[in-house]
Amino acid sequence: MSEFDLFVPLYYNDGSPIESRKFQKLQKRLLGEFDGLTYFPQPNTGFWKMGEILFQDEIVIYRVVTESLGRARRFFARLKKDLKKELKQEEILIIERKVRTL
């Protein structure tokens, strides 16, 4: 079983907020593919460096758990491409982990 965390920015690179309808659309797309998700709505702050420049972003996290690893990887590859374009981002972070349930 695998778990995927999708880190989604709350703001465009120009500082304007991403519209709530885009988050609703994303949630609907995730539910359509995985039949369930966990949403962490509290804003989290991410930091990363490129050279000497420190960047900061506020994000929310969506998590899904699935047994269909290949299908999920294909889905997230497409989703990442779509979100980068739609949210005007250089990168979208998606983390995959192996998990076991009790």
Question: Does residue 96 contact residue 66 with C-beta atoms inside 8 Å?
Answer: no
* pLDDT at res. 25: 97
Residue 101 reports pLDDT greater than 90: no
Helices (runs of H) and strands (runs of E) counted in the chain:
2, 4
* pLDDT at res. 63: 98
Residue 42 and residue 51: Cα distance in Å, rounded? 29
> pTM for this one?
0.91
Which residues constitute the domain of residue 16?
A: 2-98
Confidence class of residue 98 from pLDDT cuts 50, 70 and 90? very high
Per the structure, the count of domains in the chain is 1
* pLDDT at res. 3: 97
Question: Does residue 45 contact residue 56 with C-beta atoms inside 8 Å?
Answer: yes
Mean pLDDT, the chain, rounded, equals 95
Name every residue whose Cβ is closer than 8 Å to that of residue 49 and which is 6 or more positions away in sequence: 55
Identity of residue 44: N
For residue 44, what is the domain's CATH number? 3.30.70.120
